[in-house]
Amino acid sequence: MALYDNTGDGYARARRPDPRIGQLIAQALDGMGSVANIGAGTGSYEPPGTVVAVEPSRVMIDQRPPGTAPAVRAVAENLPLATRSVDAALAVLTIHHWTDLERGLAELRRIARRRIVILTWDHTVTREFWLLRDYLPAAADTDARLAVAIDRLEGLLPGATVSAVPVPHDCVDGFGAAYWRRPEAYLDPNVRAGMSMLALTSKQDVAAGLDRLREDLNSGRWAKTYADLLALPSIDIGYRLVTLEARSPGRADDDDG
C-alpha cells in the first residue's frame, strides 16, 4: 500500500488496460451480474458490472477516471462488504501485495456468491523471459520475491482452474513483460517507470543489464539471438487467470442450496 502511495502517481498513464487481456478477464467473469474489484488501483480491467472497488491507496483512488465504480479505501484482508454480497470478486495483479494472503483470499470467498477471478503470474515461467533471464537476473530475483507461487495459490483455493494469459506483441498495458517484442522500449525511463519489478531492483544492477541490452541492440546481436520471437503474435510470459467457482471442492462455507 505504501509503495503505491509513494509511486502510484502516473500509474494510470503507464498502466492502460490491453483490450485482449481485458477480453479474457471479461470472459472469466461472464454471467456475473455484480463484481467487487479488490486492490482495484486506478480501475484497469474493471468490468462494467463492477459495483464496488476496494483499494487502500488514496493516490490510486484519486486517479480513477470519472464513471468508474465507487471506491472504498480498505484492504483485502478486511473487506467492508457483506457476506455473499456480490456475484464475483476480482483481484487483478494485487494479491502479491497483500500482507496476509490467506486472510485476503478468505475474504474474497466470503463476499463472493458465485466466483473468484484472480489475475497473477507464475514466476517460474516469467523468469525465462529473455529480459530477466539474459539481462536482468537481479530483477528475476525481485520478481520471484514478489510473486505468489502458483502452487501455493492452488493449495489455498482447491478446485481453482489456472489458465495462461498470453501477452500480445503490441500490448497496450505497460507492465514488466509487455515489451517482449519491442526491446528498445526497455531503454526508455518513462516506459520503465511503470514497472514495480524494476523499481524494486538495485539501480546499478538494472543499469548494467540495460547497458548490455543497448549494446546488443546496436550490434544486432539481440535481433539475431531472439529472431524467433519477432514472428510471434503473442507469448506466454507467465500471466495466469485463476478462477474458482463457489461450488468447487474445498469451499467449506458453501452451504446455500
Ligand X SMILES: C[S@@+](CC[C@H](N)C(=O)[O-])C[C@H]1O[C@@H](n2cnc3c(N)ncnc32)[C@H](O)[C@@H]1O
Tell me which residues touch ligand X (CB under 6 A): 1, 4, 15, 38-42, 44-45, 55-57, 60, 75-77, 92-94, 97-99
Query: For residues 27 and 7, what is the distance between their CA atoms, to the nearest angstrom?
Result: 31
Please check whether residue 144 is in contact with residue 210, taking contact to mean a CB–CB distance below 8 angstroms.
Answer: no
CB of 208 to ligand X, least distance (A): 26
Q: Where are the alpha helices (DSSP H) in 116-202?
A: 123-126, 130, 137-146, 150-156, 189-192, 196-199
Letter for the amino acid at 27?
Q
Q: Give the residue at shortest CB distance from ligand X.
A: 41
CB of 183 to ligand X, least distance (A): 23
Name which of 102 and 211 has its Cβ closer to ligand X.
Answer: 102
Name which of 38 and 160 has its Cβ closer to ligand X.
Answer: 38
Judged on CB neighbours under 10 Å (0-12, 13-18, 19+), 204 is exposed
CB of 74 to ligand X, least distance (A): 8
CB of 212 to ligand X, least distance (A): 27
Name which of 64 and 127 has its Cβ closer to ligand X.
Answer: 64
CA angle 11, 31, 159 (to 5 degrees): 85
Name which of 41 and 183 has its Cβ closer to ligand X.
Answer: 41
Taking each helix axis from N to C end, the angle separating 137-146 and 203-219, rounded to the nearest 10 degrees, works out to 130
Query: For residues 74 and 249, what is the distance between their CA atoms, to the nearest angstrom?
Result: 29
CB of 232 to ligand X, least distance (A): 24
CB of 225 to ligand X, least distance (A): 30
Radius of gyration of the chain, Cα coordinates, nearest whole angstrom: 19
Query: For residues 87 and 246, what is the distance between their CA atoms, to the nearest angstrom?
Result: 9
Name which of 55 and 87 has its Cβ closer to ligand X.
Answer: 55
Name which of 79 and 210 has its Cβ closer to ligand X.
Answer: 79
